[in-house]
Chains A and B, each alone.
Chain A
Amino acid sequence: MADSMITVFERPHSLKPVPSHFCSGCHHGTVHRLVAEALDQLELQQQTIGIASVGCSVLLYEYFDIDVVEAPHGRAPAVATGVKRVHPDSIVFTYQGDGDLAAIGTAEIIHAANRGEHLTVIFVNNTTYGMTGGQMAPTSLGGQVTTTTPYGRDLETDGNPIRMAELLALLDGTHFSARVSVDAPRRVAQAGKVIHKAFEMQKNRAGFAFVEVLAACPTNWGLSALDANERISQEMMPCFPLGTFKDLSGAQG
């Protein structure tokens, strides 16, 4: 850009200049950008190791200009624990979807949080298994039609949507747990601040930080990008309220 212009907003440096494979209107890209912005602002790009999960987020090593380890399905917090303990000066984060973190990886995330591992966990909740074709996830809402619940999720037989941010806030090892959304500009800005804080806490060696992000999956919800974006505030937020459920950063001074 010419010298006569001031840059107000640009793609973060921690994100490679390549187009993503995500569907039109998918919020994974937004969350990727917010994480990259936090790494840029805290100048952590050179010391950060990302742990990719299984799902649509599996290809994040193609998009982040950082070192990335790909973990088996659900095991990202376990791999991250190993990486962080071997490289305690690195910043280690996992980036997981709800099929990964809240289903097959429930044990790993709960025990990583309970041990108080010095990790940052970014949890993208879009109430479905995106990559495998829209099956029911533990976070699917009551009545939600998915490929494995064609008549809608029946809460009596299929269980209830699981609220991971509240659940992990109950554990003594968790230092920060919050839920944010990226369906409107002001909420994206708020989500950016929370993700920034979650990385800042790790930089200050504060402990386990968990951020759940409500996101849209237009393709598997069978909605347009705009309708899917609308569904977050209309249907998801009543079940998954936004907020900070635990924050011990102040207590540590």
Chain B
Amino acid sequence: MKKLVIDEEFCKGCGLCVIACPLELITVGTKVNKQGYPLAQISDANQVKCTACSACARMCPDAAISVYLPKKD
């Protein structure tokens, strides 16, 4: 269950989400998109730690990040 979905087509690897995350869960990796930008990424382990605060999504200039939370039963 991914809380954070980063759209690889929109991401430009600026790193503003990296400094926005209070838990430092996001990194800019080596994988590039078709425009040649390195992509922001979050590991599966960090997906679990993510609190869905949306600070990264607010900072993203390209609206590349969507944030979801699992429904509580």
Contacts and interface: CB of A to CB of B under 8 A. Distances in A.
Interface of A: 1, 3-12, 15, 19-20, 22-30, 32-33, 184-185, 188-189, 192, 218, 225-226, 229
Interface of B: 1, 9-10, 12-16, 19-20, 35, 37, 52, 54-55, 57-63, 65-71
A142 B61 CA distance: 27
B52, B62, B69: which has the most chain A beta carbons within 10 Å? B62
B55, B61, B65, B67: which has the most chain A beta carbons within 10 Å? B61
B70 A30 contact: no
B22 to A, nearest CB: 9
Contacts of A229: 16, 19
B52, B68, B69: which has the most chain A beta carbons within 10 Å? B68
Contacts of B68: 1, 5-8
If over half of B's interface residues share one DSSP class (helix, strand or loop), that class is named, otherwise mixed; here it is loop
A30 B20 contact: no
B59 A185 contact: yes
A29 B63 contact: yes
B63 A15 contact: yes
Contacts of A7: 66-68
A188 B58 contact: yes
A5 B69 contact: yes
11 contacts: A5-B1, A5-B68, A5-B69, A6-B71, A9-B67, A24-B14, A25-B14, A185-B58, A188-B58, A188-B59, A189-B58
B63 A12 contact: yes
Contacts of B61: 22, 25-30, 33
Nearest to B13: A24
Contact of A9 (B12, B13, B65): B65
